[in-house]
Amino acid sequence: MSTPDLTAALAATHDIWMRTNDLLTQALAGHRLTPATFQALWALDPDEQPPSMKVMAERLYCNAPNLTFITGQLVERGLVERAVDPQDRRSRVMVLTPEGRRVRAELLRTALEVTPLAALSGEELRSLTALLGRVARPA
C-alpha cells in the first residue's frame, strides 16, 4: 500500500463530494432543502420498499434522534410521509410522496450535472465505479 496514493485518493474523495455539495447549494435552496435533507431524500429509492427509520439511520451514518429531525423536515416540506410498518407496529417507514419523487429526481439530475465527476469519459467512469464499488457499502 502506498501512503501518498491513499492520502491523495481520500482527499480527492472528500473534495469531490464537498464541491458537488457546494455547486448544488442553490438548487437545494430552491426547494428549501440542505445537504443533510437532500442526502436523506437521495437515500430513499422510489423503486424499493419504504425503509424503516432504523435502516435509514444506518444508511446515513446518523443516530435515531437525528433522523427523526431530518425526517421531520422532509415531512414538513411534503416530500415524505411516515407510515406504521404493519409487520412491526413499533417501526415507522419513510414513504416518498409524489412530490418527493419529483423533487428527488430533479435534484439528482442536477447533482449529476454539476459534479466534477461528470468531466470523466464513459470509460473512465466505468473504471472508477468498478474500483469504488469494491469498497463502498453495497447499495
Partner DNA sequence: TCCATTGCTTCGAGACTTGAAGCATTCACG
Partner DNA sequence: CGTGAATGCTTCAAGTCTCGAAGCAATGGA
Contacts with its own copies, residue ranges (CB under 8 A): 1-3, 5-22, 39, 42, 60-61, 108, 111-112, 115-122, 124-129, 131-137, 139
Place of cell 455539495: 21
When CB distances are held under 5 to 8 angstroms depending on the partner's kind, the choice from its own copies, DNA, none that residue 16 binds is its own copies
Binding of DNA by 71 (CB under 7 A): yes
Q: Which helix (H) or strand (E) holds 82?
A: strand 80-84
Q: Where are the alpha helices (DSSP H) in the chain?
A: 3-29, 35-42, 53-59, 64-76, 98-114, 122-135
Q: Which of 69, 102, 118, 132 binds DNA (CB under 7 A)?
A: 69
CB of 55 to DNA, least distance (A): 7
How is residue 67 written as a grid cell?
A: 433522523
